Amino acid sequence: MGLNEKLYDPLELSRSVESLVTRVSGGSVERKYFRFRGGRWYGGIASADVIGCNLRCRFCWAWYFRDRHDLGFFLSPEKVFERLSEIALKRGYRYLRLTGGEPTIAKEHLLEILRLSETSRFVFIVETNGILIGADPTYAKELSRFNNIYVRVSFKGTNPQEFTKLTGATPTGFELQLRALRNLLDSGLIPGRDFGVAAMIGFSPDENVARFVTTLSSIDERLVTDIDWEYVLTYPHVMKLLSRYNLKPIRTYKPDEVKE
């Protein structure tokens, strides 16, 4: 890794990563997982960390397993739902999620997990960078059929230049993130109720943050009412990654300061 890496296209990366982290077995699409755990985010959530992402964020806390396609274990959607429910039931959680890498890679796998969770009492948080939802309007349509999900689109920086600096990807990826919001709106999902915006602003000057808010409100004013601002988590392994790229965050929080 280094500063002179060639920019990559997140959609091309999606395709190659999908082929490494999925397989068809017994009629269902299985995906590779790193681990399952409970956690205090969202007031208590059962989480499954997936392997594989279509970005390579330089502040990513999951980078040490994110691209380790040789690690982990394949699971069917049924097994994933079963394991998440077990954790949630045991600990009295209301929420389930896939996290770690990018959950929207392996669309059929994700949609099947959502179908299974729809009949449960849990709410499923779809954490995503939005790239694939921006590239494929049918993805947003399919997500809109579920009434127990909340889609959290997490922006990597506040503009195309910051996006490229933070991810090493082509700046078109930022436009896809914005397009994800438009596709979700066009599918009838309601900002604040069904989906919302998060944004990594750990490297963003105030004026860029202000411009980003203006951009969002020009799409829909409801998008700016409750933005989840993300700062850099100063885990030692994250700081190590940042130093490789000579990136110095201006907004951080220590892992034990994280809001829950």
Q: Is 56 in the site for ligand SF4 (CB under 6 A)?
A: yes
Q: Which is nearer to ligand SF4, 58 or 85 (CB)?
A: 58
Strand partners, 126: 98, 151
Q: How far is the CB of 59 from ligand SF4 (least distance, A)?
A: 7
Least Å from the CB of residue 52 to ligand SF4 = 9
How many of the chain's residues bind ligand SF4 (CB under 6 A)? 10
53 contributes a contact to ligand SF4 by CB under 6 A: yes
Q: Is 111 in the site for ligand SF4 (CB under 6 A)?
A: no
Q: Kindly tell me which of 61 and 74 has the beta carbon lying closer to ligand SF4.
A: 61
Binding mask 146-185 for ligand SF4 (x = CB under 6 A): ----------------------------------------
Tell me: does residue 66 bind ligand SF4 (CB under 6 A).
Answer: yes
Least CB distance to ligand SF4 at residue 176 (A): 12
User: Distance (Å, rounded) from C-alpha 81 to C-alpha 58?
Assistant: 30
Which range in 18-26, 57-65, 75-83, 117-125 contacts ligand SF4 by CB under 6 A? 57-65
**Euclidean distance between CA atoms 119 and 252, whole angstroms:** 39
Residue from 45, 55, 133, 153 that binds ligand SF4 (CB under 6 A)?
55
Of residues 64 and 74, the one with the C-beta less far from ligand SF4: 64
Does residue 101 touch ligand SF4 according to CB under 6 A?
yes
Q: Which residues bind ligand SF4 (CB under 6 A)?
A: 53, 55-57, 60, 62, 66, 101-102, 129
